């Protein structure tokens, strides 16, 4: 059963945003908070063949000092033309950063890094699992990491068990699977490319079942409580909508024409009740919006900036902090990273 877009009451709040100071040029994107809100990881991309990963310490919503670059073994420094790529940061509950990376001409692997450390180390050896590794997602208890590998196909889902240090196939198919995300326990939601479109599936105890599909791509799913939030371009390639599903065939459009992040899944609030997003409409791109998962209300947080997107929300010390990227004005060269205290705004 497909439900249409649910119009919601909208409330606007204006909040001061602080910018994270970044030396060098590049577009900031894909911010990811550590579970305790003390660190913020983000990518920097000049679209020149290299993407760097940085981490900045945050206290009371303010960046503390300069961001630290997370370097791959053997990689060069930022924007030096080395061709290294470090992307898709995700945090382990114990505060370690897991991400994808590759040096120039190399394959994509998973890496592990601790705040304050020097270089990153490879998480899994080629003997454990070969091929390009991507889309890491960490089980809520930290005991397992699921990811995709093309070692035996187009892109299958594997799971690394932390206690045994063993890697096992969770799903093998003739299709391309991507963007798995853990829900409760070992429950995974993921996307599958098939016949030119992308659909969502659930994986539980080795059994895969369809969740939602249709025209276009249903992609980058994540969990909001026991529901799944994702991006869909069923209305056409240039129109990305934010959609929530509570079960097979169930769809509720929360927002139309959302700004699609480079790789990130939709941003869900710490309590699982709100989804944050920017809009692609130039007349409305000066804000980050929060819509309740049931579609009942929307809060618009004006920023004083433009082209706002890539939101990420965390709770730290009883307060909620929003990280997002934006341009300072129309015609600016590079997207910058900003932080807001949005406590009490929702």
Q: Which regions in the chain score pLDDT beneath 50?
A: 1-9, 11, 77-81
- 334: in domain: no
- 340: in domain: no
- 298: in domain: no
- Report the run of H or E that residue 98 belongs to, with start and end: strand 97-102
User: What's the chain's length in residues?
Assistant: 346
What does the pLDDT read at residue 329? 76
Q: Return the structure tokens found at 194.
A: 């098939």
- 103: in domain: yes
- 14: in domain: no
Q: Return the structure tokens found at 109.
A: 């692997």
Rounded distance between C-alpha atoms, residue 138 and residue 98, angstroms: 9
- Residue 25: CB atoms within 10 A of its CB come to 12
Domain encompassing residue 140: 25-264
- The CA distances from residue 60 to 39, 68, 314, 316, 321, in Å, are 11, 19, 12, 8, 9
Contacts of 41 (CB under 8 A, 6+ apart): 31, 32, 34, 53, 54, 55, 70, 89, 91, 97, 99
pLDDT digits (tens, 9 = 90+) for 52-75: 999 999 999 999 999 999 988 875
Q: Return the structure tokens found at 231.
A: 């991006």
- 73: in domain: yes
Number of domains in the chain: 1
SS3 219: strand
What does the pLDDT read at residue 61? 92
What does the pLDDT read at residue 332? 74
Phi-psi category of 328—alpha, beta or left, where left has phi over 0 and alpha has psi -120 to 50? alpha
Domain CATH number, residue 238? 2.120.10.30
Q: What is the DSSP string of 229-261?
A: EEEE-TT-TT--EEEEESSTT-BEEEESSBPPP
What does the pLDDT read at residue 46? 81
What does the pLDDT read at residue 48? 78
What does the pLDDT read at residue 106? 85
- 62: in domain: yes
**Paired residues of 323 in beta bridges:** 312, 339
Rounded distance between C-alpha atoms, residue 246 and residue 211, angstroms: 9
- 126: in domain: yes
């Amino acid at each position: 059963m497909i439900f249409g877009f649910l119009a919601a009451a909208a409330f606007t709040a204006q909040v001061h945003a602080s910018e994270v100071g970044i030396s060098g040029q590049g577009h900031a994107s894909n911010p990811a908070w550590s579970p305790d809100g003390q660190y913020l990881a983000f990518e920097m991309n000049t679209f020149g063949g290299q993407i760097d990963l940085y981490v900045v310490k945050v206290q009371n919503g303010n960046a503390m000092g300069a961001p630290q670059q997370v370097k791959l073994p053997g990689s060069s420094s930022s924007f030096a033309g080395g061709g290294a790529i470090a992307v898709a940061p995700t945090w382990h509950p114990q505060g370690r950063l897991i991400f994808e990376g590759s040096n120039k001409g190399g394959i994509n692997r998973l890496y592990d890094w601790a705040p304050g450390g020097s270089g990153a180390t490879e998480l899994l050896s080629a003997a454990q699992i070969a091929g390009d590794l991507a889309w890491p997602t960490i089980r809520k208890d930290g005991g397992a990491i699921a990811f995709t590998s093309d070692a035996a196909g187009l892109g299958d889902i594997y799971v690394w068990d932390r206690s045994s240090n063993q890697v096992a196939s969770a799903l093998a198919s003739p299709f391309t699977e991507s963007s798995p995300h853990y829900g409760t326990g070992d429950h995974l939601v993921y996307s599958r490319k098939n016949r030119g479109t992308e659909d969502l599936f659930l994986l539980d105890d080795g059994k895969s079942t369809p969740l939602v599909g249709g025209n276009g791509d249903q992609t980058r799913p994540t969990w909001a409580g026991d529901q799944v939030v994702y991006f869909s371009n069923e209305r056409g390639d240039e129109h990305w909508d934010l959609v929530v599903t509570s079960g097979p065939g169930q769809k509720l459009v929360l927002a139309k024409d959302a700004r699609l992040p480079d790789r990130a899944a939709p941003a869900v609030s710490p309590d699982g009740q709100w989804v944050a997003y920017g809009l692609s409409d130039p007349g409305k791109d000066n804000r980050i919006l929060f819509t309740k998962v049931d579609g009942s209300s929307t809060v618009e947080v004006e920023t004083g900036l433009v082209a706002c997107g890539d939101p990420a929300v965390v709770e730290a010390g009883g307060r909620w902090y929003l990280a997002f990227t934006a341009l300072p004005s129309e015609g600016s060269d590079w997207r910058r990273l900003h932080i807001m205290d949005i406590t009490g705004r929702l």
